[in-house]
Structure 1
Amino acid sequence: MSTQTSTPPNGAAADERSSLLRLYLTRGILAVAWALAFARAHEEVDAVAITLLVAYPLIDAVSSLLDHRATPEGAERRVTAFNGAVSTLAAVAVGIAGAGGEAPVLHVFGSWAVISGAAQVIVGLRRRGPEFGKQWPTLISGGLSFVVGIFYNLQAAGGNSSLDVLSVYATGGGVWFIAQAVLLGWKSRQLRTQTA
C-alpha cells in the first residue's frame, strides 16, 4: 500500500487542509473538555459517567463522518467510514458495559482505542504528503492510542481497573489533535507565502 495519496490540485488541497484544520481543532478542544468533565464525574460508574463514556466515541464517530464527507474517494475515505462505524459501535458497547463496572468499560474502551488508533495511523500515512504537513501528530496519536488500548485491556484483565486513565487518554489525544491543527495552519500560511 502506498503511504501517500496522489497530490490533489492546489485549490482542492487548500480546501481539504482548511477543512481538516477546523475538524482537528474542534476535535482536540472537545477531547480536552471531555477529559476535564470526566475527571470530576467518574468516581462511580453512574448515569453521568456512562453518559460521558458513550459521548466520547460518539464525538469520534461524528468527526469521522465529517472527515469522510470532506475526503476525496480513496482508501483513506474508506478507513474514515470504517472508523466512524467502529466508534458508533463502541459508544453502544461502552454504554452496555457500564452496567458491569470499571473492568468491562476499560475492556471496551481499550479495544476501541486499539482499532481507532490503527485506523488513525493508516489515515495519517495516507496523508503524509507535504501539502498536509507530514501528519506527525496524527501518527503519534494513533500509535499511542493503539499501544495504550492494549495496556487498558491487560489492566482490566489483571483486576486492576481504574477509569482515571481515560481522562489522561482523552487529554493526550486532544493535545495531539490541536498540534495537528496548528501544523496544518502553519503549512497553509507557508504555502500561501510561497504562491504570493
Structure 2
Amino acid sequence: MANDTSRSRTDAGALVRYYFLRAGVAAAWVALAFTIARSNPVLAGALLVAYPAWDAFANARDAKANGGFRANIAQALNTAVSAAVALAVLVALQIDMRLVLGLFGAWAILAGLLQLVAGVRRWRAYGAQWAMVLSGAQSALAGGFFLKSATGPVASVITVVAPYAAFGAFYFLVSAILLAVKTRRRAETA
C-alpha cells in the first residue's frame, strides 16, 4: 500500500509540473497575442498555428507520461484533433479568417469535451480536478461562440482567441496549485 501511495504522489507531482508548464506556455502565448501579434499578422498567424500544435504536443507528452495512448484515449484523440487543426489553420490562414475562427470553434468544442473526459477520469485518481472539468466545459461553450462569430465579419482572430487562451492558462494554474496543495496534505497525513 505504501508503494501505491508513493507512486500516486510521484504521478501527482508530474501532473502538477505538467499543469504549471501548460499554464506558463499559455500565459506567454496570450502575452504575445495581446502585444506584438496584434499588429503583426505574420506573428499572429504563427501563433494561431502554434496554439493547437502545442496542444497536440502537450497531450501526446502527457499521455506518454501516464501509460501511453491506449491508457489515455481522450489525450490520444486530443493529440490527433489538435495536430489536424494546426495543419488546417495553416492552410485556412491563406483562405479566409472566418474559416480560421471556425476551425478554432470546432477545435475548442472537441478539445474541451476531451479535456472534460480526462479531467473526470483524473478526478477519480487524484482529486482536485474541478478546474480542468470546468475548463473543458467552458472550452466547448467558447467553441460555440467562435463558430457563431465566424459567420460574421472577423477583424482579428488572434484577439478573439487570446481571452480563451487566457482562461486556459488560468485553469491550468488553478489545477496545478490545487493538486500541489492536495498532494502536500496527503503526504503530511501519510
Could you tell me the TM-score, scaled by structure 1's length?
0.88
Runs (5+) with no aligned partner, structure 2: none
> Higher mean Cα deviation, 46-55 or 17-26?
46-55
Alignment of 1:145-160 (within 5 A): 145-160=139-154
> Higher mean Cα deviation, 137-146 or 158-167?
158-167
Provide the residue aligned with 1:4 in structure 2: none
Runs (5+) with no aligned partner, structure 1: 1-7
Provide the residue aligned with 1:90 in structure 2: 85
Cα offset for 1:133? 2.6
Alpha-carbon distance in 2 for matches of 1:73, 1:156? 36
Cα offset for 1:102? 2.2
RMSD (Å) for aligned C-alpha atoms: 1.9
Provide the residue aligned with 1:13 in structure 2: 8
Q: Deviations over 1:138-180 (max 9, x none)?
A: 0111110000001100111133564222111111100100100
Q: Which residue among 150, 173, 177 is the counterpart of 1:178?
A: 173
Q: Which residue among 29, 53, 57 is the counterpart of 1:62?
A: 57
1:139 is the counterpart of 2:133: yes
Aligned letter for 1:19?
A: A
Q: How many residues align?
A: 186
Of all paired residues, the percent bearing the same amino acid is 32
Q: Deviations over 1:27-85 (max 9, x none)?
A: 011101101101221346x3221111111111111110111012236876111111011
Whether the 8 Å CA contact 1:110–1:150 is kept in 2: the answer is yes
Matched position secondary structure for 1:128:
helix
1:48 is the counterpart of 2:51: no
Cα offset for 1:127? 1.2
Whether the 8 Å CA contact 2:128–2:179 is kept in 1: the answer is no
Whether the 8 Å CA contact 1:98–1:105 is kept in 2: the answer is yes
Change (3 A) 1:26 1:188: same
